[in-house]
Every structure is written in C-alpha cells, then in structure tokens.
C-alpha cells in the first residue's frame, strides 16, 4: 500500500465526505484494523532486521531498531498505531530476545525492569509522532487550501473579460512617482492593448506619449489609498477604456480596464442625433419667429403689431437656447452667461434700437439645465422689453444692465434701467400679460421675484443653484 500517494487537488467525495471534510491523505483512511496492520508490519520488519543484524553485530542492543519503528508508526497512523507498535515491540522482545532469569538485575539490558523503563521512554515517542503528524496535516491542508485559492484566482485571472494589470511603483528621491513596472497582465488586457506577453516587465514610459498626468494620478492613489478612475482613448486601436486604479500595497497598484467603446460610440451617435434635433428645432422656431415678424409688419393695428412682436421675441428666446445647445455640444445644459449675451444682442437688433438704448451684460459662466434656461431667458426678454417700453420711450436714451451671478448656493439675475422709475400707471400695468408671464416663469424654477421701483427700475430674480428638474 502506497500510504504517501499523491493527493488529488479536487478529489471526488466518497461516502460520508462533503465539501468541508478533510481529504483521505490527512486521515490516511486507516480504520482500527489498518492502524493495527501498520504497527504489526513495522514491528515485524524491524524484528527481521534485528534478528539478521544480531548475528552480524553481537553488541547490538535489544531495542536499537524498535524506537524508530514506534516513531514511524505514530507518524503514519497516529497515536493508536504508535501505541500498538510499542505494545507489539514489548511482546516481541519478551518472546524472542529475553531469557527467563531467576535473579532480576536492572543492570541487565534484557531484564523485565528495563523493559518497563524502555516502554515508558517509548510512550513520548508516540506522543511526539502523533503531534508531528497533526502539524504536518495542518501544514498540508493550508498548502492545499492556498493552492486551491491560487487555482481559482488563476482561473478568474485568465478568463475575466476586464483587463487587469499589476504595477510596481518607481519613486524619485523627492517622493514623486516617476514610472512603474508592469508586473503582470491578464490575457484580456493584452488583447485590449494589442500587445503580447513581452509587455510584462516593461515600464510605462517605454511606450510613446506624455504620461505626466497618468503618473500624477497613480501617485495620488498610492499615497492616499483612494481609488481613482478616468476614461482614455487608444488612437492605435480606436478603442475607449475606462481605467480604475486601486492601491494594493504601498508600492503596488492594480489597474482594471473596461472596454467602453460601444457605449462611447452610442453616446456619440446620441449626441449627434440630439445636435441635429436641436438644430432643426432652432430652425423651425426661427421660421416661426420670422413669420410672426412679417405678420407684425403687415398689420395696421398697433395693438396687434405689439402682441405679434412680443410673441416673436418670446419664440426667439427659446430658439436661442436650442442654438446654444447645438453650438456647445451639450445635450441638456446651457452655458447661461454666453446665452444671455447672445439673447440681449438679438433683442437689441430686433427692436432696431440703434445706439439709443445700450444693453450691457455682466454674467458669470454658469451651466444651467435647459428646463431652467428657457424660463429665465423668456423672463429676461420680457423685462428688457418692458424697460425699453416704459423707461426709454422714443426718443429717450439710456442703459439697461443685465447681471448674472452665482454664490452661496443661489443664482441671482438682475435687470436694471436708469429711467424715471415705475410710475403709478406702469405699476398698474404690471398686472398685464408680460408681468404675469414673468411671475409664472419664475415660479416654474422655484425662484423669487423682487421689484425695486426707484431710482430707475430694478428687477431681481433669485433661483436655487440646483433647481428641481
């Protein structure tokens, strides 16, 4: 029987075995009969050898070979096998090598007293052998568990779809990360980057390109322990990757690559379609604006003309938002400062003010959602139109100031003129369509509307920095 047969990494479970049961190596599958068999076999083998050597070496002690046999029995079969070997040794020696004596002397090597002492000395060998066997079993179990984990990790490393690289940092004397060595790469990453296994062991800076920002980010991850991620385009393969960097040790970091090419292409297609949609909406609104302007010029009724021009201005302000979206490449946000400047210029041109009324715009570059930009754009259009109508009737000259700031979690928009202020007549006109529209639009974005009537007229709107969608 080959007791030290090789252990299978994933043996098929036998009767009574389960996933958490030790493999047969650790118990050696020895029942009481086999433990007894191991002890008998060892003692018998040693007895034969001792008998043969006894004729060749007359001075050989009776127990010279039996102590090692007891120890080996305990190592192989445990304490039961060691104890059985010790008992069989005593029986064998008494039967074959000890002569009956009338006067017992302890100085006689074959005396029964010495036999008892030697049996007591063999008992610790049983304990030591069984303990060493237990330690070896634990060591082997730990080694096999580690091998199983490594096998699972290797399988995952080889089969995972995401790219993975383990990198070792190279530091400068001043503590900056200046490069790193690629310690390992999985097959998925090799395919993503279009390189072979020879890339393992190379340095980042061995490849062409400016790696300053990449190394700065990696250095921050290694020093702070906070993971970081970014997107990168590989021009050679025209692929997009999302890269996440995580610290493993103070000197090692893991980089995980996700291929997001299809997602980016879908985003580009969607952005292109959205740009086209904005462009068409802007063109259609411009067409509607032009028709309203033509109708206003064609009518002889001053009241109808005023209403048509007011409606045209409102449509035009909405068209300006879609034009800003188309130019900026954004799908749902507008740079409102630039939009205000364009809108005020368009209002001035549409009302043919020449140089009689100047419109000055001071606006911070603030990004706003479309749902906020459109109402605020229409509000500015209404307020400027009202200021021109009531503060600077022809041929009066003056200045209208539009100011946009963002601070303390709030967006502040102010339209101010330096005219005579709001009279009783103009105050009563605030119940008209234009002012009702302004208050309604401000309410849509959860803003507040305040009017200061002198000097001049000042209209202030405050809106939360992140208004509800």
Can you say whether residue 28 is alpha, beta or left, with left for phi > 0 and alpha for psi between -120 and 50 degrees?
Answer: left
In this predicted model, which residue has the larger pLDDT, 336 or 14?
336
pLDDT at 339: 81
What's the pLDDT tens digit per position in 285-337? 778 878 887 887 888 887 787 778 777 777 877 777 766 665 655 556 778 88
Pseudo-torsion of CA 28, 31, 35, 37, nearest 10°? -110
Q: How far apart are CA 445 and CA 376, in angstroms?
A: 8
Q: How far apart are CA 252 and CA 256, in angstroms?
A: 13
Q: How far apart are CA 172 and CA 384, in angstroms?
A: 61
Is CATH 3.30.565.10 what the domain over 334-469 is classified as, yes or no?
A: yes
| Three-state secondary structure string covering 270-339 | HHHHHHHHHHHHHHHHHHHHHHHHHHHHHCCCHHHHHHHHHHHHHHHHHHHHHHHHHHHCCCCEEEHHHH
In this predicted model, which residue has the larger pLDDT, 124 or 254?
254
Of residues 307, 309, 22, 311, the one with CA closest to residue 142: 22
Handedness of CA 376, 382, 385, 389 (dihedral sign): negative
| Confidence class for position 64, pLDDT limits 50, 70, 90 | low
| Confidence class for position 397, pLDDT limits 50, 70, 90 | confident
pLDDT at 116: 65
pLDDT at 248: 92
pTM: 0.45
CATH superfamily for 163-259 is PAS domain (3.30.450.20)
Contact 309, 296 (CB under 8 A): yes
pLDDT at 4: 31
Contact 186, 167 (CB under 8 A): no
Q: What is the DSSP letter of 15?
A: T
What's the pLDDT tens digit per position in 187-210? 888 888 888 889 889 999 888 888
Structure tokens at 374: 């459109």
Mean pLDDT of the chain: 76
Report the range out of 168-172, 262-266, 448-452 with the highest average pLDDT: 168-172
Structure tokens at 184: 């390992």
pLDDT at 300: 83
Structure tokens at 7: 């252990």
14-36: average pLDDT: 48
334-352: average pLDDT: 79
263-281: average pLDDT: 76
| Confidence class for position 410, pLDDT limits 50, 70, 90 | confident
């Amino acid at each position: 029987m080959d007791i030290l047969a090789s252990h299978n990494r994933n043996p098929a479970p036998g009767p009574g075995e389960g996933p958490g049961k030790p493999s047969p190596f650790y118990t050696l599958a020895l029942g009481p009969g086999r433990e007894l068999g191991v002890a008998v076999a060892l003692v018998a083998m040693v007895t034969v050898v001792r008998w043969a050597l006894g004729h060749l070496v007359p001075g050989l002690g009776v127990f010279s070979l039996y102590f090692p046999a007891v120890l080996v029995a305990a190592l192989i079969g445990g304490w039961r096998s060691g104890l059985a070997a010790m008992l069989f040794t005593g029986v064998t020696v008494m039967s074959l090598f000890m002569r009956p004596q009338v006067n017992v002397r302890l100085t006689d090597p074959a005396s029964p007293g010495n036999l008892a002492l030697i049996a007591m000395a063999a008992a610790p060998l049983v304990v030591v052998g069984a303990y060493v066997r237990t330690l070896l079993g634990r060591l082997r179990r730990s080694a096999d568990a580690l091998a199983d984990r490594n096998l699972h990790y290797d399988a995952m490393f080889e089969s995972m779809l995401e790219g993975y690289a383990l990198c070792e940092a190279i530091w400068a004397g001043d503590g900056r990360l200046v490069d790193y060595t690629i310690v390992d790469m999985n097959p998925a990453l090799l395919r993503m980057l279009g390189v072979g296994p020879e890339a393992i062991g190379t340095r980042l800076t061995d490849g062409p390109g400016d790696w300053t920002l990449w190394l700065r980010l990696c250095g921050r991850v290694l020093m702070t322990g906070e993971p970081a991620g970014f997107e990168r385009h590989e021009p050679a393969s025209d692929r997009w990757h999302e890269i996440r960097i995580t610290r493993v040790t103070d000197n090692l970091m893991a980089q995980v690559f996700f291929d997001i090419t299809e997602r980016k292409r879908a985003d580009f297609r969607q952005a292109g379609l959205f740009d086209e949609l904005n462009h068409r909406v802007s063109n259609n609104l411009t067409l509607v604006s032009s028709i309203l302007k033509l109708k206003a010029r064609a009518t002889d009724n001053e009241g109808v003309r005023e209403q048509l021009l007011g409606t045209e201005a409102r449509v035009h302000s909405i068209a300006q938002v879609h034009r800003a979206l188309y130019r900026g490449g954004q799908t749902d946000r507008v740079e409102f400062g630039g939009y205000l400047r364009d809108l005020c210029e368009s209002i001035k041109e549409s009302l043919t003010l020449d140089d009689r009324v100047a419109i000055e715009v001071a606006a911070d570059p603030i990004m706003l959602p479309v749902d906020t930009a459109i109402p605020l754009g229409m509000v500015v259009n209404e307020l400027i139109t009202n200021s021109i109508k009531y503060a600077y009737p022809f041929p009066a000259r003056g200045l209208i100031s539009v100011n946009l700031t963002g601070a303390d979690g709030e967006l502040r928009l102010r339209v101010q003129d330096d005219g005579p202020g709001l009279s009783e007549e103009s105050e009563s006109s605030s119940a008209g369509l234009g002012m009702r529209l302004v208050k309604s639009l401000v309410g849509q974005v959860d803003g507040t509307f305040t009017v200061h009537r002198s000097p001049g007229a000042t209209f202030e709107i405050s809106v939360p920095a992140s208004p509800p969608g």
